[in-house]
Structure 1
Amino acid sequence: MEKEQVVQEIAKKMKLIRTEQSLSQDRMAEILGISKKTLVQIEKERTLPGWNVVVSFTALFENSEILQNTLGNEPLEVIRLVTFGTPEEPYGKTMGGKVWWREIDSQSGYTLQQNLISQHYRIIDQQNFRWYSTFDQNEALERFKQLIH
């Protein structure tokens, strides 16, 4: 998933999530630090939000069912991955991927999974800490091989 794709997906869902959260356009615009006019343009799909708005929106509404169905159960992980690339050390405790993840391989205390919605890959350890995330399958497989040996 590229930054532009994330922006487009979030833009398409902003009105639904605003409604899901029972927020008026005035209140949502205030929360996001944008004008109501800008929010209306985004909701009518006449313009796209900036990356800062997308990041703020995702952080503030990460528990939204609609947002989770759009980016997977950990939307901030997708934002971090698109922003920073792949981490080189364990970060972030996960829930282990019981619902939104397909297990690809599990060896030597590490599990390689793929998110069913965003299609990105991650490696977690036995305590469910995330060691690596990427959208590239070959990178994920290579890092997995490094960790298990």
Structure 2
Amino acid sequence: MNREGLINSVWDKFKLVRVELGFTQEEMAEKLGISKKTLVQIEKHRVSPGWTTTVAFCTLFRRSEVLQNAFGGDPLEILEVITNPILLKPKETTLGGKVWWVDILSKENYRIQQNVISQHYRILDKMNRRWLSTFDLDYAKAILMQLASNNNH
């Protein structure tokens, strides 16, 4: 997935999230920092939300069940995969992948999981802390080997 793919995935969710959270169009537009007219155009699929609005939407409403179900978890993880370079340090502690995740490969105290909805991969340690998120399985395998090797020293 890239920026355009994320925008398109989120585009259909604007009205659903607004209704889920009980916001009027005015309230939702205010929270997103856009005009009501622009929100109406987005909801009617006449105007794309654009990257900045998509990032704001995913950030502000990341706990929405609609967004969580659309991405198989936190939409900010998808944003991170798309926008940030990989830093090899533990990030947040996860629930270990009990709902939307399938284990792909394990080595030492680390494992690669794949999200069944978004199809991206992540590496977790034995304490379920996320170390990496990526759409590239070969890259995830290389990092898994590096982490496991570092763990043995």
Shared fold per TM-score greater than 0.5: yes
Cα RMSD over matched residues? 1.1
Moved more, 128-137 or 27-36: 128-137
Aligned residue number for residue 84 of structure 1? 84
Work out the CA distance in 1 between the residues paired with 2:107 and 2:135. Answer: 21
Aligned residue number for residue 32 of structure 1? 32
Aligned residue number for residue 60 of structure 2? 60
Count residues with an aligned counterpart: 149
Work out the CA distance in 1 between the residues paired with 2:93 and 2:48. Answer: 32
Cα deviation, 1:21-52, whole Å, max 9, x if unaligned, reads 11110100011000001001100011111212
Work out the CA distance in 1 between the residues paired with 2:67 and 2:125. Answer: 26
Contact 2:107 2:145 in 1 (8 A): no
Q: CA deviation at 1:88?
A: 2.1
Q: TM-score, normalised by structure 1?
A: 0.95
Aligned residue number for residue 120 of structure 1? 120
Aligned residue number for residue 22 of structure 1? 22
Q: Which amino acid aligns with 1:27?
A: E
Q: Which amino acid aligns with 2:124?
A: I
Work out the CA distance in 2 between the residues paired with 1:59 and 1:30. Answer: 15
Percent identity of the aligned residues?
Answer: 50
Task: Return 5+ residue gaps in structure 2 as ranges.
Answer: none
Contact 1:87 1:133 in 2 (8 A): no
Cα deviation, 1:105-135, whole Å, max 9, x if unaligned, reads 2221101101111111110101111111110
Contact 1:85 1:134 in 2 (8 A): no
Q: CA deviation at 1:79?
A: 0.9
Aligned residue number for residue 129 of structure 1? 129
Q: TM-score, normalised by structure 2?
A: 0.92
Q: CA deviation at 1:99?
A: 0.6
Task: Return 5+ residue gaps in structure 1 as ranges.
Answer: none
